[in-house]
């Protein structure tokens, strides 16, 4: 009778590992030093037999890994968007181009580990692209990025969160997944510890939510933008005006609910009448009201500014022309309020 194979002769190591909820598997510490150089990047090729009873990790050099990834990228769009076994029609080349990651729009600000994050986001993108979208797998990868690549530097983390948000917003639009907007607002926006990027994140949410006509959410996000504006100190007037400028730009030519109009009118008038003493800032507030087509309010504030100016002020003529222009501007809506 043939002897049973001796596992000690077959394997260098045997042990038990457990998959975490995030989908990661940790190589036991006691063998890591023997197998890998400290802090060296190690690449593996994952192989899964058809019976799905084994996971095989094949160690690759960086060159071999890059070569494999390049081949995989060429195959992925065809596999996901081409003709399936069930006979679904292939998507045209122009449509395939639209269903590719728009990297230049995601990475507005460079941050640490950007290349590694990009690789994981790319794999997540094609999970979102599956029909139906493999949301559990895709979101697992997103969560992994937001846990694994955080650093001790708040600004770096803010850039990471903002980049991932931009990626997800693109996914929302390309694959019609508006429910992800709630997850972005609840799980990502509060973790952006930068006033500037926090506000940009909200503005991006506003723009995307408008496209899906999620008006209650737009109202909520505007409220938080205005709250962020209020958090600036009196010495940060430039930041306040820039924030108003970006918000008005997002809302200038879109239909708005009555609640949105109330929020904007009240806050702009508050800053134009009570907060700012600087005449130039007051004039800019009038122009924001005009851009939003709140002509009556803009005219009222402009008249108040005109009456408060000393006769020798260099702004007298500018304000006079502004009042005259608003006085003859028809009070009609350039957008639909509902």
User: Contacts from 257-260 at CB under 8 Å and sequence distance 24+?
Assistant: 257/215, 257/218, 257/219, 257/337, 257/338, 258/337, 258/338, 259/219, 260/215, 260/218, 260/219, 260/222
Region of poorest pLDDT, from 68-77, 107-116, 181-190, 315-324: 68-77
The pLDDT confidence band at residue 334, using thresholds 50, 70 and 90, is: very low
| Residue 42 forms part of a structural domain | yes
CA neighbours closer than 13 Å in the CB half-sphere of residue 182: 6
Q: What is the pLDDT of residue 132?
A: 93
Lowest mean pLDDT among 33-47, 214-228, 278-292: 33-47
* Lowest mean pLDDT segment, chosen from 212-216, 217-221, 333-337: 333-337
Tokens found for residue 203? 């503005």
pLDDT band at 91 (very low <50, low <70, confident <90, very high): very low
For the ranges 61-65, 93-97, 198-202, 299-303, which has the lowest average pLDDT?
Answer: 93-97
The answer to whether residue 50 sits within a structural domain is yes
Contact 286, 272 (CB under 8 A): yes
How far the first Cα of the chain sits from its last, in Å, is 86
Q: Is the pLDDT of residue 192 over 90?
A: yes
Mean of pLDDT over the chain: 85
**Residue 177 maps to a domain:** no
* 37 assigned to some structural domain: yes
* pLDDT confidence band for 49 (50 / 70 / 90): confident
Residue 6 lies in a domain: yes
Per-residue model confidence as pLDDT tens digits over 235-254 = 999 999 999 999 999 999 99
What pLDDT is stored for residue 18 in this prediction? 72
Give the pLDDT mean for 195-219.
Answer: 97
b vs e for 301-334, b when ≥16 Cβ sit within 10 Å of the residue's Cβ? bbbebeeeeeeeeebeeebeebbeebeeeeeeee
SS3 assignment, position 151: coil
| 62: in domain | yes
For residue 161, give both structure tokens: 């969160």
| Number of structural domains the chain divides into | 1
293-324: pLDDT as tens digits: 999 999 999 999 999 999 999 999 999 999 99
Residues in the chain, overall count: 338
Tokens 């939510």 correspond to: 209
What the block records as the tokens of 102 is 């728009």
- Is the pLDDT at 75 greater than 90? The verdict is no
The answer to the question of residue 13 being in a domain is yes
pLDDT tens by residue, 159-173: 999 999 999 999 999
Concatenate the DSSP letters of all residues of 256-279 into one string.
Answer: B-HHHHHHHHHHHHHIIIII---H
Task: Write out the residue range of the structural domain in which residue 22 sits.
Answer: 1-98
What dihedral angle (degrees, nearest 10) is formed by the CA atoms of 13, 18, 23, 27? Answer: -30
* Cα(217)–Cα(252) distance, integer angstroms: 18
Band the pLDDT of 78: cuts 50, 70, 90. Answer: very low
Give residue 16's pLDDT: 80
Those residues whose C-beta lies under 8 Å from the C-beta of residue 308, and which sit 6 or more positions away, are: none
Enter the pTM of the model: 0.72
Q: What pLDDT, on a 0 to 100 scale, did the predictor assign at position 81?
A: 46
Residue 187 lies in a domain: no
Least confident of 18-22, 218-222, 319-323: 18-22
pLDDT at site 2: 45
């Amino acid at each position: 009778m043939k002897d049973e194979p001796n596992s000690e002769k077959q394997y260098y190591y045997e042990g038990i590992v457990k998959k975490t909820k995030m989908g990661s598997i940790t190589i036991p510490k006691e063998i890591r030093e023997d197998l890998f150089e400290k802090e060296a990047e190690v690449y593996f090729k994952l192989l899964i037999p058809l019976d799905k009873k084994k996971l095989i990790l094949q160690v690759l050099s960086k060159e071999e890994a890059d070569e494999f990834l390049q081949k995989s990228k060429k195959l992925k769009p065809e596999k996901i968007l081409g003709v399936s076994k069930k006979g679904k029609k292939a998507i045209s080349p122009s449509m395939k181009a639209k269903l590719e990651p728009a990297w230049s729009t995601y990475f507005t600000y460079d941050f640490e580990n950007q290349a590694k994050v990009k690789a994981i986001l790319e794999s997540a993108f094609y999970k979102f692209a599956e029909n139906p979208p493999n949301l559990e797998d895709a979101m697992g990868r997103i969560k992994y990025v937001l846990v694994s690549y955080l650093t001790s530097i708040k600004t770096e983390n803010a850039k990471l969160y903002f980049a991932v948000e931009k990626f997800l917003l693109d996914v929302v639009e390309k694959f019609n997944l508006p429910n992800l907007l709630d997850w972005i607002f609840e799980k990502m926006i509060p973790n952006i510890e930068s006033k500037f990027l926090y506000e940009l994140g909200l503005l991006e949410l506003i723009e995307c939510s408008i496209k899906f006509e999620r008006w209650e959410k737009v109202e909520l996000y505007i409220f938080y933008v205005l709250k962020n504006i209020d958090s600036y100190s009196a010495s940060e007037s430039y930041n306040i005006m820039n924030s108003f400028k970006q918000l008005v730009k997002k809302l200038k030519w879109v239909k708005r609910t009555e609640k949105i109009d109330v929020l904007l009118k009240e806050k702009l008038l508050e800053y134009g009448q009570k907060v700012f003493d600087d005449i130039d800032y007051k004039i800019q507030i009038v122009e924001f009201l005009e851009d939003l087509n709140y002509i009556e309010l803009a005219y009222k504030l402009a008249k108040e500014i005109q009456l408060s100016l000393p006769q020798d002020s260099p702004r007298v003529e500018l304000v006079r022309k502004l009042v005259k222009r608003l006085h003859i501007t028809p009070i009609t809506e350039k957008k639909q309020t509902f």
